[in-house]
Amino acid sequence: MAIDYDHLMALESTGNVVRYGDREAMLYALSIGMGRDPLNTTELDFVFEKNPLKTIPTMASVVARVPLLMNCGFDYTKVLHAEQHLRLHQPLPAESELIADARVIEAFDKGKAKGALIYTETTARSKSDGSPLFTATSSIFARGDGGFGGSTASSPQPHVTPERKPDTTCAIKTRDDQALLYRLNGDRNPLHADPELANNVGFPVPILHGLCTYGTACLAVLKTICNYDHTLITGFDVRFSAPVYPGETIITNIWRDNHIVSFECRVAERNVTVIRNGKCTLAN
């Protein structure tokens, strides 16, 4: 079954009520590498409720999952997570009841031999007062499904990383069991847990979730640029370029230009870039 462009563009899901609490906030923080040193009192504020609990901004990528792209005609075995974009309208509370609306915003046809790039958008607002919380945009690349008659316009241009040497660098080693921990945030794709399946699709071991790498990059910026002030981050955008294997060390190169922080991530063990065109927007 091929992609039906008109059907795809009509997909939306509105009024989804989502609840999360401090348990989910602390689990997310632990799953992207916060709290490795239990005596680091600064990081304890993200993983221990003694003081008012702080939240990782990129937690927005997991608290309002709305499945839209089921049975849409593309080959799910060839799908890659291509990009993730986030706009925070206010800092995420440690617990909330929110309303999420999701829709497909565009599907770019790269040609039969190249594939399809499909963008979805999720907006979330507080159920109690209707105030906007965040807008998250995600794209997937369906490698085997081009030529379906979708838009042939150019897809959005990525953020350009400065050519100068990084202003700072942050290395964070992932855990061997980190994918097993991170999947408890809601993404139970067996590719991140089943060694046999991983081997069957060409990976030596189950891979780390792309959104876990995304969260780790946010942790790196929080540590090095924001002094752990999570309220400073109002946007966080990336392009994924390669998977990370659990246990590898993610090195984030960081450039700051006023309220724009650019970054790229690579794994030290293979010298492979795993996130490109990273852009973090800070509050003015």
What radius of gyration do the chain's Cα atoms show?
19
Residues with a catalytic annotation lie at 187, 192
Q: Left if phi > 0, otherwise alpha if psi is -120 to 50, otherwise beta: which for 172?
A: beta
By CB atoms closer than 10 A (0-12, 13-18, 19+), residue 197 is: middle
| Strands (DSSP E) found in the chain | 12-20, 79-88, 96-109, 116-126, 132-142, 168-173, 233-240, 249-257, 260-267, 272-282
